[in-house]
Amino acid sequence: MNVLYRAALAAILLGGLTLGFAQDNKKGKAVNTNSNTRIFNPTGMHTPVGYSHVAEVTSGKIVYIAGQVAMDAAGNLVGKDDFAAQVEQVFVNLKTAVEAAGGTFKDVVKLNTYVPDSVDPALITAFRAARDKHVNTANPPASTFVIVRRLVRPEWLVEVEAVAVVSK
């Protein structure tokens, strides 16, 4: 992947995000999203836009959710060649999974996202829009966004895995 593509993708991912963080968070103090976690940005690190640097588990049970793709309950692909539709289905699947473990999307502390380099960087705003409907945008989960050569199946345009911490 060339440098220009990476720069464009970074601008799309970070540009336009005006998410506020609590003053305590900027100083490195934790802001609790629930009684089981502290999500924060340590002093001495830059203040990120759209994600947090650290998600600390203080109690509860950890739930690992495998990478979700745009497959519905019947195993059918949702949104063939439609990145936005696939992202929506991925977040529906993540929500279903975390709720099955006894939590809500507010319990998600980490997201790892994988998008093939064939996806037009201009479409990445659809990812941010879908994600922001589900996560706590004032104190978002720690997140990683990775551009990969391809996913296991070429018709998959996005895969997201999650970690949540829910009350026992």
Residue 11: helix, strand or coil by DSSP? helix
d(CA 30, CA 101): 25
What is the rounded CA–CA span in Å between residue 115 and residue 99?
25
Dump pLDDT digits (tens) for 113-164: 999 999 999 998 999 999 999 998 888 999 999 999 999 999 999 999 999 9
- Compute the residue count for the chain: 168
8 A C-beta contact, residue 65 and residue 99: no
Between CA 140 and CA 109 the distance in angstroms is: 8
What CATH class is the domain 3-166?
alpha beta
Inter-CA distances, 49 with 4, 9, 12, 129, 165, Å:
21, 14, 12, 14, 22
Please report the DSSP string for 88-154 in residue order.
Answer: HHHHHHHHHHHHHTT--GGGEEEEEEEEETTS-GGGHHHHHHHHHTTS-TTSPPEEEEEEES--SST
The answer to whether residue 44 scores a pLDDT higher than 50 is: yes
pLDDT of residue 162: 97
More confident position, 138 or 28: 138
- Mean residue pLDDT across the chain: 83
pLDDT in tens, 46-58: 988 888 888 888 8
Strand order in the sheet with 61-68: 61-68, 159-166, 108-116, 142-148
Is 50 exceeded by the pLDDT of residue 110? yes
Residue ranges per structural domain of the chain: 3-166
